Chains A and B, each alone.
Chain A
């Protein structure tokens, strides 16, 4: 029973356009959500996070949106750059269990010129 799901295994976007990566979760106790970026042969790198008290958090080209009623979050990258090509993992943790991150299976983003 996968509590965090990324239903799109891959996404291809042209440079300069917007990339939208989606994530769904099932556990209503999740209250902290993160996005990690991973290059081949490297570990996941923290990108951006959002607490359940917010519905949007922005950091430069990266914006995360949270829709608690739909148990859905998304990561928007605009404009997309070739260096953004990587695997993106969505992760979540529950109130009172903040050290236990539950990861999705990742979405491979390819940004082409």
Chain B
């Protein structure tokens, strides 16, 4: 009965490859997010989607492309992976929409390592 689930948990790949991380939430939330936690443990928002619509798009290289097929899923595709993309990527969701100040619920993260 996992609320926010991400796959895979670990991803090791070579520079230049393209990879995807999947995220699903069963909380019935309207908004989903992707965060990146870098080597300094700094957790920073990348994107947010509300009902499949892009709401937040921080300064992220356009090699990163989120895709939301429905409001329960937000996948992250990364093209031409670089060494600096090595990090832990967290998916999150929240009720949001017309309901403000609601905490976000996080998945357990995907640790991406670029060789």
Contacts and interface: CB of A to CB of B under 8 A. Distances in A.
A binds B: yes
Interface of A: 2, 32, 34, 36, 41-46, 49, 51, 87, 89, 93, 98-103, 105-106
Interface of B: 4, 31, 33, 40-45, 48, 50, 55-56, 90, 92, 94, 96, 100-109
Nearest to A48: B103
B56 A43 contact: no
17 contacts: A32-B100, A36-B106, A41-B109, A42-B109, A43-B90, A43-B109, A46-B103, A46-B105, A51-B101, A89-B43, A98-B102, A99-B48, A101-B45, A103-B42, A105-B40, A105-B41, A105-B42
DSSP class of A's interface residues: helix, strand, loop or mixed? strand
Contacts of A100: 45, 48, 56
Given A99-B94, A100-B45, A46 B104 contact: yes
